[in-house]
Amino acid sequence: MKTNLECIPCLFEQALRTAMMVTQDEQKIKQVQDELGEIIKEISLESTPPMLAKKMYENVALITGKEDPYQELKHKSTLEALALYPSVKEQVSRSIDPLLTAAKFAAIGNVIDFGVNHGYGLLDEINDVLTREFGVFDYGAFKEHLSKANEVLYIGDNAGESVFDRILIEEMGKNVTYVVRGGPVINDVTLKEALQAGIDTVATIISTGTNIPGAVTEFCGSEFNAAFQKSDMVISKGQGNYESLSDEERSIFFLLIVKCNLVAEEIGVQKGELVLKGIN
């Protein structure tokens, strides 16, 4: 997915919010905004939104001296999700279709996104999960691909959300490789948060090899790209990964909550809807 002009004010808002979270120095906050303007001048609209976001968050870190501004929030959101793990597991096991229910919880977990959804209410979303419907629901194809797959590549998105990814992985019963970011960016899951969530108990963990908030294959490491090509099935979580991978030629299943009008328009749903979409 290419960068749209409407992405630019969104990035300025994210930059301002992040800078104000880590510093009260108004000169530094203004510098973040000023330098983002310079960065945008050099960015091609042919690039993906996560590429622009990477440069913006690196700039915030450089100016404020905070390499991982969301570190405490990532830890807290993972603890919050872990506290819900037993009750979610029980709901999944009692449901008519445990795989579907686990997929719903995994999609709902995508609400934990401090980049665009800093006022999320996880408990409210979880309590509402069984009545939520998908705007796009390629579940039949998802089950068919899963039944034939031996090796599944599962590309994670946010910290905390990964707890619900774990539940879906447990229900899938396949050999899974779970992908985290190669370095801190926004509240995206890294190795540290994946281990906290217990992902290592259900999957092999690898990284994209980069701190781009999305799996942009041309900038990912060789380990990721090899797994991406050889896996029988790819599950991609979240909007950043959708923006990065929606133009890829291989078969991918995207599982997310749509958080922006541009992505909603491209997929053909309303902002805020759950999506399970297969391509190719």
Per residue in 47-68, pLDDT (tens digit) is 888 998 898 899 999 999 999 9
Rounded CA gap, 278 and 280, in Å? 7
Chain-centroid distance of CA 21 in Å reads 21
Among 112, 104, 146, 49, CA closest to 276:
104
How much is the pLDDT for 115? 52
The CATH class of 7-64 is mainly alpha
Which three-class secondary structure state does DSSP give residue 233?
Answer: strand
Rounded CA gap, 35 and 23, in Å? 16
- Positions of the chain with pLDDT lower than 70, given as ranges: 113-130
How much is the pLDDT for 5? 87
Cβ-Cβ contacts under 8 Å for 258 (sequence gap 6 or more)? 135, 239, 264, 267, 269, 270, 271, 272, 273, 275
Pairing of strands 204-207, 175-180: parallel
How much is the pLDDT for 42? 84
Pairing of strands 134-137, 274-279: parallel
How much is the pLDDT for 119? 45
How much is the pLDDT for 113? 57
What's this model's pTM, rounded to 2 decimal places?
A: 0.93
What are the extents of the domains in the chain? 7-64, 73-279
DSSP state of 203: S
How much is the pLDDT for 41? 86
How much is the pLDDT for 133? 86
Cβ-Cβ contacts under 8 Å for 187 (sequence gap 6 or more)? 70, 73, 74, 77, 112, 113, 114, 115, 158, 159, 160
Look-up of token digits 């409407």? 6
Q: Across all residues in the chain, what is the average pLDDT?
A: 92
- Which fold does the domain 73-279 belong to in CATH? Rossmann fold (3.40.50)
Outline where the chain has alpha helix (H).
7-22, 26-42, 49-64, 71-94, 98-109, 122-127, 139-148, 161-172, 191-197, 222-230, 239-245, 261-267
Fold match, 7-64 / 73-279: no
